[in-house]
Structure 1
Amino acid sequence: MTPTTTIALIRHGQTPWNAEFRIQGRTDIPLNDTGRKQAQDAATTLGEGWHAIATSPLTRAAETARIIAAELGLDSPTAVEHLVERDYGRAEGLGAGEELESVRIPGGFQEAEPEVEVAARGLLALEHLRDTHPGHRVIAVAHGSFIRLTIASLFEFDAPRIGNASVTVLTHDESGWELQTVNGEPARGLAARTD
């Protein structure tokens, strides 16, 4: 019998670019004070009983993870490259308007990482965390588009926008993956039998 592994995907806290509605992607923007408070609130939402924490290597995720780890008494976060945000190519740094529209192409933006590649990378990240921490409860701090595209692909549904410092929980057992919550709200039993 396969033990149940629980993974909580947390989007990093707010950054100045989030507050300005600018696309971040791989651009390495730190948290603002609101984001740091959101990270503390996420730790309170998660509560006790977690075994490990992983993070995207980008500063905003790593700082969120360090705050959560300190609040919950966990060891320092482990960086997992696959958790990094989607590369938005020429759209990074842009907000809504003519300049953003000038780099838009069908299915995304010029020079951006394709959504299917982000989703495939997301599944690799989930499998890595499951295989590294079988039967444990693991927190993974990542990014909005990364989380949304990963769960949308895995569970074949139109996933909502992922809020800053929100909690999305998946479990894995002998039946496969099951989505428990999205943005802290019940996911109503979406399951993917992928094993």
Structure 2
Amino acid sequence: MPAPTIYYIRHGQTSWNAEGRLQGVQDVPLNRLGRRQAARAGEILADLFARDGRDKTELSFVASPLGRARATMELVRGELKMPPADYALDARLREIGYGIWEGSTLAEMQAADPALFARRQAEKWTVAPQGGETYVQVQARVTDWYNELTSDTVAVAHGGTARALMVALGLETPLSAADLPIEQGAVYLFRDGGVSKYS
């Protein structure tokens, strides 16, 4: 079977995104801009389906269980004129856990533990704060999710899981992916061994 096509959408903006705070597994709702970004992603997705002659009812739809991803998926499906709540959840798509750093800005993390902060900046893929995850762990669960896909899929999740998926598929390295910006309101199309962004 050929590798599945994935239409990947990062959730829209939240107030913590706007303030530069790490969210991790905290449930922070979309703000007004985030809802607009989610709707825009739905419009982009509709255009891609029309361009490619895709029947939206033949694709699987799955989201991270965190509220900001679910709200984004429901706004996306609304733009597609599909029942908003008719999609699956998969915990393997949740955001990377930041442990004791969740809710903090970069400056606050650095002030609280300069040595750990410096280590994490140098080795982002393998170093985690107390109670958090490494990107290696996120990559493992995202790989597990990807390997179980049986159909082309629309996935709504997070910046961290997008980076991990890119590394898992050999599209980026841990070094190049660690600080790669993942745009909100865009659709990342994983297909034919590559990834393209539409915004």
Same fold by TM-score greater than 0.5: yes
2:137 aligned to 117, 122, 127, which one? 117
- Report the structure, 1 or 2, having the larger helix content: 2
Q: Within 5 A, what are the aligned runs for 1:2-81?
A: 2-3=1-2, 5-47=4-46, 48=49, 49=54, 50=56, 51-75=59-83, 76-81=86-91
2:153 aligned to 129, 138, 146, which one? 138
CA distance in 2, matches of 1:52, 1:81: 16
TM value normalised by structure 2 = 0.79
- The 4+ residue runs of structure 1 with deviation greater than 6 A are none
Q: Secondary structure at the match of 1:110?
A: coil
One-letter code aligned to 1:57: P
Asked if structure 2 preserves the Cα contact closer than 8 Å seen for 1:119 and 1:149, the reply is yes
CA distance in 2, matches of 1:8, 1:125: 15
Residue 94 (structure 2) pairs with residue 84 (structure 1): yes
- Report the structure, 1 or 2, having the larger strand content: 1
CA distance in 2, matches of 1:67, 1:22: 24
**Alpha carbons of 1:154 and 1:92: their partners in 2 closer, same or farther (altered >3 Å)?**
same
Residue 189 (structure 2) pairs with residue 169 (structure 1): yes
Asked if structure 2 preserves the Cα contact closer than 8 Å seen for 1:42 and 1:166, the reply is yes
Identity %: 34
Q: Secondary structure at the match of 1:109?
A: coil
CA distance in 2, matches of 1:4, 1:23: 33
CA distance in 1, matches of 2:144, 2:185: 22
Deviations 1:118-140 (A, max 9, x none): 01111112223x22x2xxx3210
Deviations 1:21-69 (A, max 9, x none): 1000000111011111101100111123332311000000000001111
CA distance in 1, matches of 2:82, 2:155: 13
Q: Which runs of 5+ in 2 are unaligned?
A: 120-126
Q: CA deviation at 1:3?
A: 4.3
2:198 aligned to 165, 184, 188, which one? 184
CA distance in 2, matches of 1:73, 1:3: 29
One-letter code aligned to 2:20: F
One-letter code aligned to 2:68: R
One-letter code aligned to 1:63: A
Asked if structure 2 preserves the Cα contact closer than 8 Å seen for 1:120 and 1:150, the reply is no
Q: CA deviation at 1:161?
A: 1.6
Q: Which runs of 5+ in 1 are unaligned?
A: 173-177, 186-195
Asked if structure 2 preserves the Cα contact closer than 8 Å seen for 1:87 and 1:113, the reply is yes
The alignment yields a C-alpha RMSD, in angstroms, of 1.9
Bigger mean CA deviation after superposition, 53-62 or 141-150: 141-150
Equivalences, count: 172
Q: CA deviation at 1:4?
A: 5.2
TM value normalised by structure 1 = 0.80
Q: Name the structure, 1 or 2, with higher relative contact order (CA <8 Å, separation 6+).
A: 2
**Alpha carbons of 1:31 and 1:125: their partners in 2 closer, same or farther (altered >3 Å)?**
same
CA distance in 1, matches of 2:146, 2:93: 9
